[in-house]
Amino acid sequence: MYDAKYLFFIYTVFLSVMIIFSLVFNTILLKFATNLGIRDQDQTTIRWSNVVKPALGGISFYLGFLIAATCYGIFFDQENIFKNSSALGLIGATALAFIMGLADDAYNTKPLLKFFTQTMCGCILILSGNYIQMFDAEWLNYLFTILWVIGMMNSINMLDNMDSITSIVSIFIIVTCIVILMLNEGFTDHNFMLMLGVLGSLIGFIFHNWNPSKMFMGDTGSQFLGIFLAAISIRYLWNHQTANPLIETYSAQQICLVLATFIIPVSDTTVVVINRLLKKKSPFIGGKDHTTHHMSYLGLSDSQVGFVFIGISLVSLLLIVAAVKFIEIWYFYHTILYLGYCLLVFLTLFVVTKVTKNSIHDA
């Protein structure tokens, strides 16, 4: 067992260093970013911003992740992260996602290749034991895990459509999983330091990504975040277990935890897909018809849209803390309350897209 003061000191210093590292690293990248990380102008890339900016932020996320993995092996040597199959699976899946995102930023890869790579990321997690455990039939668990990974990698990618939005949402999702781990006293879990590493990188990056942004995270960042968030949600939300083994965790509770935590990316993706299908457009082609864009059409500035999403994420975080810390027995009315909250957020965002005159803004 480690002394609480030692853990607090290590984690506080580590998070502070990662924030400073990300801030400085991205600042340096901007100095060399005249062409680096900017796609070929002849290629069609639909973005909210009309200004071409380097999409390099994702590099700092992945470096933060690798630094955290290394530091865990240094400070907690007897539980070496490189001997942990679950950790190795996460390292392998994130590496594959990072490389694919890097290639997509450079060459605008084909959708089929991206789909195949995302499927392989899910398979790597499954082979390392990181999969959703909801059904009696293992093949259903495997299939559901792959669908979740593919869905989340694409959802986070689609959400990266306005300054700071994906950064904000990712920060709160990671904080939620960190809080759950803290409530279950998992301070020496390898994922604790990994999440702190990515969290610090995101906080440092958001200084350059807040409107008006100087740089984007690119597919390098969104693909990495997609698989990382999918993986930690499998561990701490889908397969959530309380610190007290006598308290049973119900499937309805797990689903509510996931939906409340991921309500913004799930709602945005669902709303966009529904609206595009209703207009007989492909949901796989980009456009300026996301929930964030429609808030702007209502008159909100990009920064104000960011604050709205901070508010929603904060409420979701508080609800998750209440569910994990204060609800020992999950009753049916808890499910109704949490699903009601998720439905309220979804319907609100959906209605926003209907009250704005968007025909001239859609791609």
- What are the beta bridge partners of residue 216? 55
Distances (CA, A) of 33 to 36, 54, 296, 331: 5, 6, 29, 54
pLDDT of residue 50: 55
pLDDT of residue 283: 80
3-state secondary structure of 55: strand
Instruction: Tell me whether residue 82 is in a domain.
Output: yes
How is 189-228 classified by DSSP, letter by letter?
A: -HHHHHHHHHHHHHHHHHHHHSSSPS-B-HHHHHHHHHHH
Q: State yes or no: cis peptide before 265, omega within 30 of 0.
A: no
pLDDT of residue 362: 46
Write out the residue range of the structural domain in which residue 182 sits.
4-35+54-355
pLDDT of residue 92: 96
Instruction: Tell me whether residue 272 is in a domain.
Output: yes
Q: What is the pTM of this model?
A: 0.91
Tokens of 143: 């299939």
Instruction: Tell me whether residue 159 is in a domain.
Output: yes
57-75 vs 85-107: helix axis angle to the nearest 10? Answer: 160
Instruction: Tell me whether residue 362 is in a domain.
Output: no
CA R_g for the chain: 20
Torsion, Cα 71 74 77 81, to 10 degrees, reads 30
Instruction: Tell me whether residue 67 is in a domain.
Output: yes
Instruction: Tell me whether residue 349 is in a domain.
Output: yes
Instruction: Tell me whether residue 91 is in a domain.
Output: yes
pLDDT of residue 32: 76
Q: Contact 237/261 with Cβ under 8 angstroms?
A: yes
pLDDT of residue 360: 43
pLDDT in tens, the chain (363 residues): 678 888 889 999 999 999 999 999 999 888 876 555 455 544 444 555 555 566 778 999 999 999 999 898 888 865 566 678 888 999 999 999 999 999 988 887 888 999 999 999 999 999 999 999 988 899 999 999 999 999 999 999 999 988 899 999 999 999 999 999 999 888 888 899 999 999 999 999 999 999 888 888 989 999 999 999 999 999 999 998 765 555 556 788 899 999 999 999 999 999 999 999 998 888 877 788 899 999 999 999 999 999 999 999 999 999 999 999 988 888 999 999 999 999 999 999 999 998 885 444 444
Distances (CA, A) of 355 to 165, 330, 350: 22, 37, 9
3-state secondary structure of 13: helix
Tokens of 97: 């996602």
Domain count, the chain: 1
Instruction: Tell me whether residue 40 is in a domain.
Output: no
